[in-house]
Structure 1
Amino acid sequence: MKWHHVQENWSAFYEAIQEKWPEADESDLDEIDGDQRAFIAYLAEVTGQESSEIRDELRDWLTGEIPSDVVMDPTHDNHSIALSSKYVNEGEDEYDDDARFGDDSPENDDD
């Protein structure tokens, strides 16, 4: 993943950030708001490590996959729906309810 993925979905990454760096506090992350330099400086301060070490850790962390909770963030749903419009027949709305396909019925909730 790239830093812009993190920056664009900053709050959705909190759990993954805190898993990697347990010293990170959510209210401090709110203030950082996706600023990479501020994030590195913050992590160096709370972990007691050098900024260069944090940069290396961050580079390694970014080589991983985007966490599933980030991918499942509702903001991605709307984006994915909008992208799907090229597969929707003319005159139909990609945001329409798909209940007519039968996958929204209560008896299927346990699947």
Structure 2
Amino acid sequence: MKWHHVQENWAAFYEAIVEKWPDVDEADLDEIDGDQRAFVAYLAEATGQEASEIREEVREWLAGEIPSDVVMDPNHDNHSIALSGKYVNEGEDEYSDDARFGDDDEYPNDGDN
């Protein structure tokens, strides 16, 4: 993930941040509000580590997975749906309920599946 994912969804990352750096305080995270430099400086102060060490830890942390509550965010979902539009046949709307695609009755659930 990129820092802009973190910045745009700052509060959603609190749990992941606290899991990685248990010494942080959520009230302090509120004040940082997604500012990467302030976050690194805060972590250096909270953990007693050098800023260069913290920057490396943050880089490694960013290489991890995006928390599920961010992935399930409506903005992220709508972006993913829009990208999936290239797989939807012409004339169909990728945002429509899939019942409109007409394949719901093709595979009736008769208990054998």
TM-score, structure 1 as length reference: 0.71
Q: Partner letter of residue 3 of structure 2? A: W
**What do the CA deviations read for 1:21-49 (whole angstroms, capped 9, x no partner)?**
11222232222222110101111222233
Which residue number corresponds to residue 12 of structure 1?
A: 12
Which residue number corresponds to residue 109 of structure 1?
A: none
Counterpart Cα distance in 2 of 1:30 and 1:81: 31
Shift of 1:17: 0.7
Which residue number corresponds to residue 72 of structure 2?
A: 72
Identity, % of aligned positions = 83
**What do the CA deviations read for 1:50-102 (whole angstroms, capped 9, x no partner)?**
32221222122223233344323332111111112222233332221224555
Count of residues in correspondence between the two structures: 102
Counterpart Cα distance in 1 of 2:23 and 2:32: 15
Which residue number corresponds to residue 41 of structure 1?
A: 41
Task: Give structure 1 regions of 4+ aligned residues with deviation exceeding 4 angstroms.
Answer: none
Larger radius of gyration: 2
Which residue number corresponds to residue 26 of structure 2?
A: 26
SS in 2 for 1:61: helix
Which residue number corresponds to residue 95 of structure 2?
A: 95
Counterpart Cα distance in 1 of 2:20 and 2:72: 20
Counterpart Cα distance in 1 of 2:30 and 2:91: 42
Which residue number corresponds to residue 55 of structure 1?
A: 55
Counterpart Cα distance in 2 of 1:91 and 1:67: 34
TM-score, structure 2 as length reference: 0.70
Q: Tell me, which stretches of 5 or more residues in structure 1 are unaligned?
A: 103-111
CA distance 1:60–1:84, shift in 2 (3 Å)? closer
